[in-house]
C-alpha cells in the first residue's frame, strides 16, 4: 500500500479535543492536497473525526473551516497552480472557497467508534489514561477489516506497553505532537520494541509532509518532553516550598514563577506553564511515569491537594485559561491562589510586596520575546548569565539553583537512555517548549553553584 493509499482512510480518536482538533486539521489538509493528484482520482479520501460529543464535533468543523481559510490564503500560489486547469474558478476567493469545501468534505464527524473499523491508520489522541487507550485500541483492532496501524499521541505511556497490552504486534508508534499541533513544529517520534519498520517509514514521510521537526525519543515513560517538564515542575514546587514558610504561599508562587520566566528567560513561568497544561494533566502524567523510575519519586502532594480542591487549570472550550496556581483575565494573570486560606489574592499586591525582595534583574537582560528572535544569541545569553552569576539577590540565587537543577534533569534523561543525545534534550526544549536555550549548557560555572 502506497503512502497516498494508506492515508485515504484515517480515523482520529478524540478529534474534538485540544490535540485531536489540530491533528485533524493538519491531516485533512494533507489529504485534500493528495486528492488533487491525477493518480489519486479513483481514491476516496475519508477522515473520521471520532469524539464523544456531537456539540464538540460541530464546533470542530467550524474550527477547521476558519483554520483552512488561513492555510489557503497563505498558499494561494500553490492552489492557483493546482486549479490552473479549472476554468470555472478564476479569482482567488473562488479557489479558496472550493479548497475549504474540499477539506471539509473529507471529514466525517461521528460519535461511534465503529466508524473507525475501515481505517488504515488510527490516530489516538484521547486522555492520558492507559486503560482508556487500550480499550479503544483493542475494540477497533478486534473489529477492523484492514489490520490498521496505530499512531498514539501519548506524551507519557510507553509504546511497547500499548503494543503488548493491545496485542498489536508492532502496529503502533508514538507520534507526540506538541500543543497546538497546527502551530508547533516539534513531534517526538517513539518506536516500541516491535514497531514495524514500514510504519516508522510512513510516520517519517507523514511528518515531512506536515513540515514537522522530528526528535526521536527512546521508549521510556514520559519520553524527553514530559521527562524534563514533569521534573522541572517538581523542582519548581520544591523551590516554592523553600520560600513559602518565610514569605507565604502566594508570595512563593509569584517569586518562583517570576524567577523561572524573567530571570531564566523563558516564555512562561513554571506555574503558569503547569496551569496551561493543567494541574490535573500534570498529576496524571506523573502517575503514569512514576512506576517506571525506581528510586525516584515523581509525585507531588501539592498537586494532589489542588486537584482535590478543584484547582485544575487547563483551558475552557473557548481557549480561555481556567484557574490553577493563578487566576487569569483576558490571558493575563490577575490573582494567585493562597493554599492555606483556599482563596485567590491580588496578583498586583503580591507583586508589590515581593519584587523588592526578589531584587532587580542582572544587567544585559533581554526579555524572552526579544532574545528568541535572535538566531546567534549564545553570546548575548553568555553575557547575561555572567552577570546573573555575579549578582547576589534572591532572584538571581534561586535562578542559578533552578538552572543547575534543570541541567541535572537533562543530563539524567541521557543517562537513563530516554534521550539519545544531549542535543535531543535541548532540541525538544527549544522547539517544543520555545525555550531560548537548552537546559544542558555551559553558561554558568556549575561546579561553583
Calculate helix-pair angle for 18-35, 92-106, nearest 10 degrees: 120
Distance CA 257, CA 79 (A): 45
Q: What pLDDT, on a 0 to 100 scale, did the predictor assign at position 443?
A: 97
Q: How far apart are CA 166 and CA 182, in angstroms?
A: 29
Whole-angstrom Cα distance, residue 122 to residue 152?
8
Q: Which fold has domain 3-217?
A: Rossmann fold (3.40.50)
Taken as a whole, the chain contains a residue count of 449
User: pLDDT value at position 82?
Assistant: 87
- pLDDT at residue number 331: 87
Let me know if domain 225-448 sits in CATH 1.10.3720: no
Backbone angles phi, psi at 238, to 5 degrees: -60, -45
Domain ranges of the chain: 3-217, 225-448
The 8-class DSSP code of residue 38 comes to G
pLDDT for the residue 86 = 80
* Residue 284, pLDDT score: 95
Interior/surface letters 213-247, b for 16+ CB within 10 angstroms, e for the rest: eebbbbbbbbbbbbbbbbbbbbbbbebbeebbeeb
Which letter does DSSP use for residue 261 in this model? I
With 0-12 / 13-18 / 19 or more C-beta atoms within 10 angstroms meaning exposed / middle / buried, residue 196 is middle
Per-residue confidence in pLDDT tens, the chain, 449 aa: 999 999 999 999 999 998 999 999 999 999 999 999 999 999 999 999 999 999 899 999 999 999 999 999 999 999 999 888 887 877 899 999 999 999 999 999 999 999 999 999 999 999 999 999 999 999 999 999 899 999 999 999 999 999 999 999 999 999 999 989 999 999 999 999 999 999 999 999 999 999 999 999 999 999 999 999 999 999 999 999 999 999 999 999 999 999 999 999 999 999 999 999 999 999 999 999 999 999 999 999 999 999 999 999 998 877 789 999 999 998 899 999 999 999 999 999 999 999 999 999 999 999 999 999 999 999 999 999 999 999 999 999 999 999 999 999 999 999 999 999 999 999 999 999 999 999 999 999 999 99
The three-state secondary structure class of 121 is strand
Amino acid at each position: 500500500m502506497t503512502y497516498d493509499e494508506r492515508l485515504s482512510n484515517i480515523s482520529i480518536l478524540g478529534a474534538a479535543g485540544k490535540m485531536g482538533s489540530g491533528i485533524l486539521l493538519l491531516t485533512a489538509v494533507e489529504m485534500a492536497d493528495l486528492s488533487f493528484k491525477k493518480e489519486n482520482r479513483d481514491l476516496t479520501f475519508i477522515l473520521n473525526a471520532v469524539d464523544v460529543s456531537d456539540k464538540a464535533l460541530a464546533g470542530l468543523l467550524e474550527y477547521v473551516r476558519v483554520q483552512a481559510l488561513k492555510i489557503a490564503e497563505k498558499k494561494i500560489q500553490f492552489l492557483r497552480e493546482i486549479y490552473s486547469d479549472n476554468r470555472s474558478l478564476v479569482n482567488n476567493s473562488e479557489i479558496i472557497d472550493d479548497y475549504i469545501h474540499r477539506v471539509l468534505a473529507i471529514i466525517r464527524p461521528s460519535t461511534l467508534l465503529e466508524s473507525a473499523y475501515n481505517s488504515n491508520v488510527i490516530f489516538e489522541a484521547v486522555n492520558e489514561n492507559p486503560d482508556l487507550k487500550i480499550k479503544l485500541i483493542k475494540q477497533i483492532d478486534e473489529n477492523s477489516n484492514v489490520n490498521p496501524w496505530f499512531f498514539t499521541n501519548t506524551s507519557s505511556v510507553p509504546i511497547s506497553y500499548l503494543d503488548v497490552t493491545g496485542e498489536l504486534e508492532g502496529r503502533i508508534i508514538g507520534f507526540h505532537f506538541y500543543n497546538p499541533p497546527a502551530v508547533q513544529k516539534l513531534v517526538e517520534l517513539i518506536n516500541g520494541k516491535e514497531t514495524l519498520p514500514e510504519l516508522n517509514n510512513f510516520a517519517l514521510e507523514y511528518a515531512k509532509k506536515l513540515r514537522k521537526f522530528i526528535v526521536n525519543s527512546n521508549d521510556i515513560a514520559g519520553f524527553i518532553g514530559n521527562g524534563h517538564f514533569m521534573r522541572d515542575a517538581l523542582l519548581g514546587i520544591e523551590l516554592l516550598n523553600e520560600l513559602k514558610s518565610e514569605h507565604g504561599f502566594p508570595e512563593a508562587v509569584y517569586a518562583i514563577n517570576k524567577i523561572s520566566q524573567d530571570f531564566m528567560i523563558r516564555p512562561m513561568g513554571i506555574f503558569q506553564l503547569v496551569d496551561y497544561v493543567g494541574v490535573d494533566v500534570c498529576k496524571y502524567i506523573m502517575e503514569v511515569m512514576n512506576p517506571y523510575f525506581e528510586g525516584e519519586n515523581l509525585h507531588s502532594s501539592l498537586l494532589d491537594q489542588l486537584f482535590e480542591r478543584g484547582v485544575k487549570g487547563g483551558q475552557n472550550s473557548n481557549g480561555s485559561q481556567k484557574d490553577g496556581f493563578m487566576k487569569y483575565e483576558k490571558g493575563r494573570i490577575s490573582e494567585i491562589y493562597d493554599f492555606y486560606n483556599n482563596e485567590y489574592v491580588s496578583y498586583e499586591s503580591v507583586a508589590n510586596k515581593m519584587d523588592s525582595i526578589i531584587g532587580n534583574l542582572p544587567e544585559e537582560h533581554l526579555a524572552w520575546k526579544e532574545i528568541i528572535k535572535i538566531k546567534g544569541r549564545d553570546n548575548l545569553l553568555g553575557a547575561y548569565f555572567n552577570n546573573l552569576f555575579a549578582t547576589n539577590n534572591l532572584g538571581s540565587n534561586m535562578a542559578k539553583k533552578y538552572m543547575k537543577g534543570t541541567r541535572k534533569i537533562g543530563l539524567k534523561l541521557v543517562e537513563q537512555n530516554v534521550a539519545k543525545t544531549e542535543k535531543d534534550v535541548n532540541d525538544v526544549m527549544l522547539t517544543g517548549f520555545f525555550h531560548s536555550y537548552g537546559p544542558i549548557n555551559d553558561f554558568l560555572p556549575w561546579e561553583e553553584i
